[in-house]
């Protein structure tokens, strides 16, 4: 895992890249007054991987805003494959039908079914790389999530933070929940401070743990992760959500990271001093968000675990998937966050 990429960027990269390489971001906006990309029903399509936390952020906002009937969805297989083996060694996401046979990891290990995959029904692409090339983006990093314009046949945006805000505000005339504002003006300072402060320090150091090549680097990163978790635990002891009394985009970003902690980061990345289950406020926060209408169905722990344990062959060449700890069972239990109402 590339810490420079996964910790600081707002999308999931398709293969291991050297630290410091710039991300090829496409950040066009969809607005009513745009001379190119206006909000319209059935014009845009969202490409994601259930396993990727950056993708899940956008999937959650699409659901919470009630845009399922207006913006289509495709979900890749969680296990990276060679995209053009006859041409180069590029490894990335592929599209499959649920009825297709299982895949192995790129080293030929494991057997990973296509359950939950949603093929590319718009362009019939077989890989995310092919989607980018169809849009004229050749030789870039083929990242997800992607918002695709079916009218112009191009990628509009591939930055999850941007996409979250586009879905939050640009489609309110079509939304079944237009009053929901995940980036309210009155809380933007608190949201931005959390996103760029506690959360960034927490999230970036998760992936620095995975990337560490020396004990010293690992020690710094893992200690920073738990320092930030302690601070967020303290914050959530004083208020219901990270920006105050209202649920915002900052809570979504934290939720998708915490969701993966005990199942993936704790073992695969060796971030194992404590679990989220050991933090009362974080644990109950995770339960509350998971149980919100529209969010539960965005959680596919099968795909999450397969994405990390089958695709990250540098860390897990065998492709073996751990059997536990079954976080989903705990997420359905009663939470205590209503004490703040």
* 52 has catalytic annotation: yes
Pair type for strands 91-92 and 81-82: antiparallel
Q: Using the predicted structure, report yes or no on whether residue 13 has a pLDDT greater than 60.
A: no
Give the whole-angstrom CA distance, residue 204 versus residue 211.
11
Residue 289 phi/psi, 5° resolution?
A: -65, -45
The pLDDT score that the predictor gives to residue 25 is 80
- Per the CB < 8 A criterion, the answer to whether 191 and 243 are in contact is yes
Q: Using the predicted structure, report yes or no on whether residue 9 has a pLDDT greater than 60.
A: no
Can you name the residues that pair with 144 across neighbouring β-strands? 12
Q: Using one digit for the tens of pLDDT, what is the confidence trace for 279-312?
A: 999 999 999 999 999 999 999 999 999 999 999 9
Q: Using the predicted structure, report yes or no on whether residue 15 has a pLDDT greater than 50.
A: no
Q: How many CB atoms lie within 10 A of CB 88?
A: 9
Q: Using the predicted structure, report yes or no on whether residue 8 has a pLDDT greater than 80.
A: no
Q: Could you tell me what percentage of the chain is helix, strand and coil, using 3-state DSSP and rounding each to the nearest 5?
A: 40, 10, 50
* 207 has catalytic annotation: yes
Q: Using the predicted structure, report yes or no on whether residue 113 has a pLDDT greater than 70.
A: yes
Give the whole-angstrom CA distance, residue 303 versus residue 77.
8
Q: How confident is the model at residue 7 (pLDDT cuts 50, 70, 90)?
A: very low
pTM, full prediction:
0.94
Q: Which of 47, 54, 59, 207 is catalytic?
A: 207
The pLDDT score that the predictor gives to residue 1 is 39
Q: Which of 47, 50, 52, 209 is catalytic?
A: 52
Q: How confident is the model at residue 161 (pLDDT cuts 50, 70, 90)?
A: very high
Q: Using the predicted structure, report yes or no on whether residue 20 has a pLDDT greater than 70.
A: no
**CA dist list (Å): 325 to 156, 236, 305:** 38, 24, 11
The pLDDT score that the predictor gives to residue 139 is 85
Q: Using one digit for the tens of pLDDT, what is the confidence trace for 79-108?
A: 999 999 999 999 999 999 999 999 999 999
The mean predicted confidence, pLDDT, of the chain is 93
């Amino acid at each position: 895992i590339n810490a420079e990429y996964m910790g600081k960027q707002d999308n999931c990269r398709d293969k291991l890249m050297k630290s410091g390489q710039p991300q090829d971001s496409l950040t066009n906006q969809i607005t009513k007054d745009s001379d190119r990309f206006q909000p319209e029903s059935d014009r845009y399509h969202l490409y994601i991987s259930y396993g990727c936390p950056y993708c899940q952020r956008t999937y959650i906002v699409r659901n919470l805003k009630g845009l399922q009937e207006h913006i289509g969805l495709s979900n890749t297989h969680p296990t990276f494959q060679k995209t053009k083996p006859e041409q180069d060694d590029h490894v990335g996401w592929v599209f499959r039908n649920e009825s297709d046979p299982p895949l192995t990891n790129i080293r030929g290990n494991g057997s990973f079914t296509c359950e939950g995959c949603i093929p590319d029904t718009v362009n019939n692409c077989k890989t995310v790389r092919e989607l980018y090339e169809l849009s004229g983006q050749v030789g870039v990093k083929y990242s997800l999530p992607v918002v695709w314009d079916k009218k112009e046949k191009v990628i509009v945006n591939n930055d999850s933070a941007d996409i979250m805000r586009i879905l939050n505000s640009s489609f309110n005339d079509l939304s079944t929940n237009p009053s929901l504002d995940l980036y309210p003006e009155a809380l933007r300072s608190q949201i931005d401070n959390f996103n760029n402060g506690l959360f960034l320090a927490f999230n970036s150091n998760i992936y620095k743990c995975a990337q560490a090549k020396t004990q010293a680097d690992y020690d710094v990163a893992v200690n920073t992760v738990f320092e930030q978790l302690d601070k967020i635990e303290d914050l959530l002891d004083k208020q219901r959500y990270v920006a105050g009394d209202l649920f915002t985009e900052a809570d979504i970003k934290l939720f998708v990271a915490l969701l993966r902690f005990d199942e993936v980061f704790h073992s695969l990345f060796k971030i194992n001093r404590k679990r989220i289950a050991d933090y009362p406020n974080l644990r109950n926060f995770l339960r509350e968000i998971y149980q919100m209408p529209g969010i539960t169905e965005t959680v596919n722990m099968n795909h999450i675990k397969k994405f990390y344990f089958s695709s990250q062959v540098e860390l897990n060449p065998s492709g073996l998937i751990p059997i536990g700890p079954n976080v989903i069972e705990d997420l359905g239990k009663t939470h205590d966050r209503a004490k703040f109402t």
